[in-house]
Chain A
């Protein structure tokens, strides 16, 4: 690996940095996670479950704390099942639930975050709790420290999510817009809601490596909302959201590497900039018409 000189141009620096395997891993995983998040983001925004990402990521943080205390080498053993169960519980609460959707998300989210941090402090096995918590919450360098095994796992899970989404696109579309009508036409809405809950939980756990627990909602929401400013049909919004999310994630990772900024925050900042641009485009388009 050659030395990178401080006075080198941006493209020369990028070229040199891309020689490092962990940078290439970060780009591959970041792009795939952004793609999966954006696909599910459209459904979540339309079903008024935008903050489910936040809630589930906090649950995952709590589960991560427990797995750390138990000294497990593979966090996924606890984190994934707990997050999936929470997703199923949160998304399965019907209209007759005593605690409505947003209140349930808030309760579980804040509770899991507080309990996780409390357990980390009481049963700490790390010499730098603040650093570990900061990295998990804000994803400052997590995406740059992936092992090849983690990369392969992310790739396989992301491909599975995309394939499932494409295969069941029509059913997901029906369940998203009118669940009652979908049931009436014979679609097993409950089963597809369960499938969506599992997929969302998987994506949230993967996305924690990219942007951290606190910023996951941005990855889910912003691309979908940006696309909705310009496009109106479900298909066009989904495709635009996916392309935009991939572009913003790749740009954010590259900018953070070159400018030495936290990865998660940089990606969200690029998402915000993209939303402002699309909002302006949508406004201009409406004015012209």
Chain B
């Protein structure tokens, strides 16, 4: 008898919790609109932080995982591996670059641009994520041919395939890695 009463009580609690979801959703919706209003007010206020215009289109594209083809004879072809292997290999490249210098590397990922605020220099990179997209690692590349930014570059977030020779260089006392003499398709 006690067990039956326990089961009925548990079923009642579960049913009640399920019924609460709709109310929770509406309270959440109210909060979202409330936060949205707060954000709008913050942007319009005189004390709002000035955003830095890097003349970069910042549209977000939902990746379709169909990376563009690129004909390139690579020593390390990351486009053929799954995301776990790719992320691990790229991380190993960053941790032990001396083992990869001079090797031809081909990789696919999302296009990203960074600006050195002091010098104004632009850095182009192919951002590679692991299987859960929790961790990301950028692989900088320097194109072989001169291109004008942003007209001759894809918008940020677009899927690209890039290939080049893995190399290292020093800047501001730090050793940085990049793909030199690179080619890109998007």
Please judge, given known A-B contacts A1-B76, A3-B77, whether A140 and B135 are in contact too, CB under 8 Å: yes
**Cα distance, A259 to B131, chains bound together (Å):** 10
Query: When A22-B89, A145-B91 are in contact, do A260 and B76 touch as well, CB less than 8 Å?
Result: no
List, sorted by A's number, 5 A–B pairs whose CB atoms are closer than 8 Å: A1-B75, A135-B134, A144-B85, A260-B85, A261-B84
Q: Among residues 79 to 105 in chain B, which have CB atoms less than 8 Å away from a CB atom of chain A?
A: 80-85, 87-89, 91-92, 95-96
Q: Are A141 and B96 in contact (CB under 8 A)?
A: no
In the complex formed, the residue of A with least CB distance to B90 is A145
* B86 closest partner in A (C-beta): A260
Query: Which residues of the other chain, A, contact B119 by a CB distance below 8 angstroms?
Result: none
A128 lies within 8 A of B135 (CB): yes
Contact B92 A17 (CB under 8 A): no
Does B167 touch A at the CB level, under 8 Å? Answer: no
Contact with A along B115-151 (1 / 0, CB 8 A): 0000000000000001110111000000000000000
Question: Is B83 within 8 A of A260, CB to CB?
Answer: yes
A4 close to chain B: CB less than 8 A: yes
Q: Which residue of A lies closest to B133 (CB)?
A: A131
In the complex, A67 has a CB within 8 A of chain B: no
Q: How far is the CA of A1 from the CA of B134 in the complex (A)?
A: 27
Partner-A contacts on B (CB < 8 A): 75-77, 80-85, 87-89, 91-92, 95-96, 130-132, 134-136
Considering the complex, give the chain A residue whose CB is closest to the CB of B91.
Answer: A145
Among B82, B87, B89, contact of A20 (Cβ-Cβ < 8 Å): B89
**In the complex, what distance in Å separates the CA atom of A215 from the CA atom of B136?**
22
Closest CB-CB distance, A64 to chain B, in whole Å?
A: 16
Contacts of A145 in B (CB 8 A): 88, 91-92, 95
Residues A260 and B82 in contact, CB atoms below 8 Å apart: yes
Chain A contacts to B: CB under 8 angstroms: 1, 3-6, 17, 20, 22-23, 128, 130-132, 134-135, 140-141, 144-145, 147, 256-263
A50 to B82 alpha-carbon distance, docked (Å): 35
Q: Which residues of B contact A144 (CB under 8 A)?
A: 84-85, 88, 91
What 3 pairs between A and B have smallest CB-CB spacing? A144-B88, A260-B82, A131-B135
- Interface of B (DSSP majority class): mixed
Contact between chains at B95 and A4 (CB < 8 Å): no
B87 / chain A contacts, CB cutoff of 8 Å: 141
Inter-chain contacts of B135 with A (CB < 8 A): 128, 131-132, 134-135, 140-141
Q: How far is the CB of B107 from chain A (nearest CB, A)?
A: 13
Closest A residue to B94 by CB, please name it: A145
Query: A131–B135 Cα gap in the complex (Å)?
Result: 5
Question: Given A6-B80, A128-B136, A260-B85, is A140 in contact with B92 using a C-beta cutoff of 8 Å?
Answer: no
Measured CA separation A23–B84 after assembly (Å) = 11
Decide yes or no: A131 and B136 within 8 Å by CB, A141-B130, A145-B92, A147-B96 being known contacts: yes
Residues of A within 8 A of B83 (CB): 260
Q: What's the minimum C-beta distance from B79 to chain A, rounded to whole angstroms?
A: 8
Task: Given the known inter-chain contacts A134-B134, A140-B131, A140-B135, please indicate yes or no for A3 contacting B84, CB distance below 8 A.
Answer: no
In the bound complex, what is the Cα–Cα distance between A132 and B77 (angstroms)? Answer: 26
Interchain CB contact under 8 A, B132 and A262: yes
Question: Contacts of B89 on A, CB cut-off 8 Å?
Answer: 20, 22
A140-B132 contact in complex given A3-B80, A4-B80, A147-B96, C-beta closer than 8 Å: yes
